[in-house]
């Protein structure tokens, strides 16, 4: 798991105007809370924070708060909906050995068998892991899976010490027939029905003539 050291400064001004001034200075308003402590309002360097948050569930070692380091995980990240820059971040304090619940990505590898279409229902699952050993994601191989295959969250192989919190019966992915194949089967069935109707029509006419 990645750990990134980042310098923080106390924040004493609040409100929209103060937040805009912080962002214009290339910093991001943030709140650090947890472990029974009062929320601490801080600012973090915007560029460094942006790079750190590219890693899912990154563990931040926040310096400069009350003269000591604080291990923290991003809990809530607010971005500008248009420009995408960081507007505000909530960080939760954690400690080594502590178990935390987080979402991790499900990454699929390999190729399914020909003739099928893969539908991934879950792109992430919730797990419980030690705060300093959170996996960035979990891989699942779909190599050779055929039409009709169904995979649930419980089929994932998680690293040692990581517990699945998502319902294990939740559908993770399925393999359905290709649309072209379905259409071909439907067309074949329709032709069969039409052929039967055509064969029955002369017999009906013959009966009428009698």
Question: Do 119 and 162 sit in the same domain of this protein?
Answer: yes
Among 36, 69, 94, give the residue marking a domain's end.
94
Question: Do 80 and 137 sit in the same domain of this protein?
Answer: no
pLDDT of residue 199: 56
pLDDT of residue 56: 86
Among 42, 70, 94, give the residue marking a domain's end.
94
Where the chain has pLDDT below 50, the residues are 206, 208
- How far CA 172 is from CA of 70, 118, 140, in Å, comes to 36, 11, 10
Question: Do 37 and 88 sit in the same domain of this protein?
Answer: yes
Question: Do 16 and 86 sit in the same domain of this protein?
Answer: yes
Question: Do 83 and 107 sit in the same domain of this protein?
Answer: no
Question: Do 171 and 205 sit in the same domain of this protein?
Answer: no
> In this structure, what CATH number is given to the domain that contains residue 151?
2.170.120.20
Question: Do 118 and 162 sit in the same domain of this protein?
Answer: yes
pLDDT of residue 145: 97
* Opening angle at CA 98, ends 95 and 103, nearest 5: 105
Domain housing 171: 101-177
Question: Do 172 and 190 sit in the same domain of this protein?
Answer: no
> In this structure, what CATH number is given to the domain that contains residue 24?
2.40.240.10
**Count of structural domains, the chain:** 3
Among 94, 118, 140, give the residue marking a domain's end.
94
* Residues in contact with 55: Cβ distance below 8 Å, sequence separation at least 6, in sequence order: 2, 4, 136
Reported as a single tens digit per residue, the pLDDT across 40-76 is 999 999 999 999 999 888 999 998 777 777 899 998 8
Whole-model pTM over 0.75: no
pLDDT of residue 35: 77
Question: Do 168 and 143 sit in the same domain of this protein?
Answer: yes
Question: Do 7 and 89 sit in the same domain of this protein?
Answer: yes
pLDDT of residue 152: 98
- How far CA 32 is from CA of 16, 39, 74, 83, 160, in Å, comes to 19, 6, 9, 25, 29
Question: Do 192 and 132 sit in the same domain of this protein?
Answer: no
Question: Do 8 and 90 sit in the same domain of this protein?
Answer: yes
């Amino acid at each position: 798991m990645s750990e990134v050291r980042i310098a923080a400064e106390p924040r004493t001004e609040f409100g929209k105007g103060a937040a805009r001034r912080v962002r214009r200075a290339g910093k991001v308003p943030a709140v650090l809370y947890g472990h029974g402590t009062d929320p601490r309002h801080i600012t973090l360097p915007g560029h460094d924070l942006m790079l750190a948050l590219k890693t899912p569930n990154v563990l931040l070692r926040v310096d400069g708060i009350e003269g000591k380091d604080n291990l923290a995980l991003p809990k809530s990240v607010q971005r500008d909906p248009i420009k995408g820059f960081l507007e505000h971040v909530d960080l939760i304090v954690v400690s080594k050995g502590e178990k935390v619940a987080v979402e991790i990505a499900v990454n699929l590898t390999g190729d399914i068998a020909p003739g099928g279409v893969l539908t991934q229902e879950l792109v992430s699952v919730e797990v419980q892991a030690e705060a300093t050993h959170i996996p960035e994601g979990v891989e699942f191989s779909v190599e050779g899976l055929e039409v009709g295959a169904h995979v649930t969250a419980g089929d994932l192989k998680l690293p040692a010490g990581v517990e699945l919190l998502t319902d294990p019966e939740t559908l993770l992915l399925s393999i359905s027939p290709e649309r072209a194949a379905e259409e071909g089967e439907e067309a074949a069935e329709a032709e069969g029905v039409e052929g039967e109707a055509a064969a029955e029509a002369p017999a009906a006419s013959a009966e009428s003539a009698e």
